[in-house]
Every structure is written in structure tokens, then in C-alpha cells.
Amino acid sequence: MEILNLRTLVEVAAVGSISGAADKLCVTQSAVSRRIKTLEDQCGHGLLDRSGVRLTLTEWGHVVLEQAKKMIALQDELQASLKQVEEKESFAFGCTPAFGIAHLPKLLERFMLTHGQVSGLKFIFDMPDKIAAGLSDGCFDLAIIEHCQCLDLSGFKTTELRGDDMIFVRSPKLGEMPEQVDIEQLFPIPLYGRQEGCCSRIFLEKNLEFVGRKFADFRKFILYDDLHLIVDAVVNGSGIAFISSDVVAEPLKRGDLQAHTVNGFVHSRKRTLVENLSPSPALANLFRQTLFDYFSEL
């Protein structure tokens, strides 16, 4: 017997009418009648006494109703247990796009080599302030935040990790330039970057304030919302970018890009593992250990 039909019988018995049960179940009266008829055919007996104004259960109906309630309770308990298992086996990780590009593929490869049978992994890229808000709302179990602004993390468990540097990069195709420069030397070159409010933009604007300049001093700004496209454009010699050194580690190593620091700028950036104070899911604990092992070898 289908649980749906049994639930329908329970509702009919409770309200005493086909129309009332249909309203409560948000289905048509004919659908309720068909479900009751199916049960009666399976039992071989009538389950409802239709002689009065209000529908009542027959002797057979009372027997079926009693067992139906037990079967429905068992199914509800089973579904609740399965949901708990699913929640325990799920894991949500938040990080910035820069971390996602530079480190997450290697981290995930390492994690899956050891825990290849797991499922329920969720990885979300966002800005540090939105990641912190997501942690508060329970959207993430673990998160990596690179600090580009002041964030109140007092309500979380935090572990400092190896940070990165925010640097200017340009292609050797643009000619020679010393590694350490004044910001005025970069203003004439087209600057590629992401939208206002992104981590690198905030970090750059704060540094410009340190040296008494502003973002509008760059002669030309080209907005790309994809870090891969920004790196490709700069490698091709189209301009410069202010970007995480981790993101461009490979092009720098190959000599496709040159790194430049600016007099008066603070280039180092803190990186923190952030998690809620409540106990973490088992998968989160496994991923945290993989994360620590990964950074210990960098």
C-alpha cells in the first residue's frame, strides 16, 4: 500500500469528508476518492461508511487507520534519519576567487586522493565580508578569508595561515621597468581589474590612500570580472593588474609576467581559516586537516 493513499485515509477520517480532505491535501476531490477506492480494492473491504452526513470509518477502516498511522510515523522517522545523515555528510567551504584559482584545485586533488568516496562537497567563491556573513548564517562550515578590510571575526574560531602578497604584474613585452617603482610610473599603463568592492580593489584603494593618490589617477581602467581573463590580457601585454602573487605564480615562474612592488604600499596580506564555534561536520574536520597539511608544505 502506498503511503500517499494511507495519508489520504488519515485526513478523511480526521475531517469526515472527501471535500475537506481534498482542501487539506491541496488536491481535487476526485483524487481523494481514487486513493480511497484504491485502498478499499487492496483490502477487499469498504473502509468508509458513507450512509451519514459525515464519513466515518467501518470496522475494517479502523484497522487500516491504526496501521496506517504506524506506517506513516515510521516513514517520517526514516526520512528524518536520512536527512540527519545527509547533513552530517555534507560540507560547505567558502573562499575568495583568488584562493579558489590558486589553491583549491590542488587542495581538492589532495583531499580526493585520500577520501575519494565522499560526496556532498560544496565550494562557494565570494568576497570576505559575504563569506563572514555566510558563516554566521550557517551557509559555510569552513572558510578562508584574505584580509583586505577590517572584519569582526570575534565570534568565530580562527587560525592564521600563510598569507600572500598583492603585487602589480606586467608583461616583459612592455619593456624594462625596475621591480620597485613609484606609483606614478604605473598610472599611464592600462589597469585591468575586477569590480568595485572586490578584495583586490579594496586593498589597492587603501594603499593608494597611504601614498596620497586615488584610483581615478590611473589613466585607463578595464573591468573584467574573471581573473583568468585579467591574467591573459596582462600576459599578452595589454596592461597591468594588481593581483595576488599566488594567482600568478606560474606565469611569474615562466617569465611571462614580471612582479612590481610600489614604494609606500603594504603588499602583504593576512589569510585566516575561519569556522564556527559549534562542532564541525566530519567532512569539515577531514578537509581542515588536508588544508593544514597543504599549507605546511608550501
| Predicted confidence (pLDDT) per residue in 149-195, tens digit | 778 888 899 999 999 999 999 999 999 999 999 999 999 999 999 88
146 contacts 96 by C-beta, under 8 angstroms: yes
Q: Is 237 left (phi over 0), alpha (psi -120 to 50) or beta?
A: left
With cut-offs at 50, 70 and 90, classify the pLDDT of residue 86.
Answer: low
Please name which of 212, 119, 110, 230 lies closest in space to residue 168, comparing C-alpha atoms: 230
Residue 89 has pLDDT above 80, yes or no: no
- pLDDT given at position 3: 85
> Model confidence over 215-243: pLDDT tens digits?
999 999 999 888 999 999 999 999 999 99
Give the per-residue pLDDT at 211. 96
Say what the pLDDT of residue 277 is.
84
Exposure string for 145-177, b = 16+ CB within 10 A, e = fewer: bbebeebeeeebeeeebebbebbbbbbeeeeeb
pLDDT at 195: 83
Q: Are 243 and 191 in contact (CB under 8 A)?
A: no
Which has the minimum average pLDDT: 60-74, 115-129, 281-295? 115-129
Instruction: Provide CATH code, domain 92-273.
Output: 3.40.190.290
Residues of the chain with CATH 1.10.10.10: 3-87
Instruction: Determine whether domain 3-87 maps to CATH 1.10.10.10.
Output: yes
Is 90 exceeded by the pLDDT of residue 115?
A: no
| Residues paired with residue 35 on neighbouring β-strands, in sequence order | none
| Per-residue pLDDT tens over the stretch 9-35 | 999 999 999 999 999 888 899 999 999
Residues 42/1, Cβ–Cβ less than 8 Å: yes
Q: Is the pLDDT of residue 82 over 70?
A: no
Confidence at 84, pLDDT banded by 50, 70, 90 = low
Q: Assign 198 a pLDDT band (cuts: 50, 70, 90).
A: confident
Domain with CATH 3.40.190.290 in the chain: 92-273
User: Are 123 and 93 spatial neighbours (Cβ–Cβ below 8 Å)?
Assistant: yes
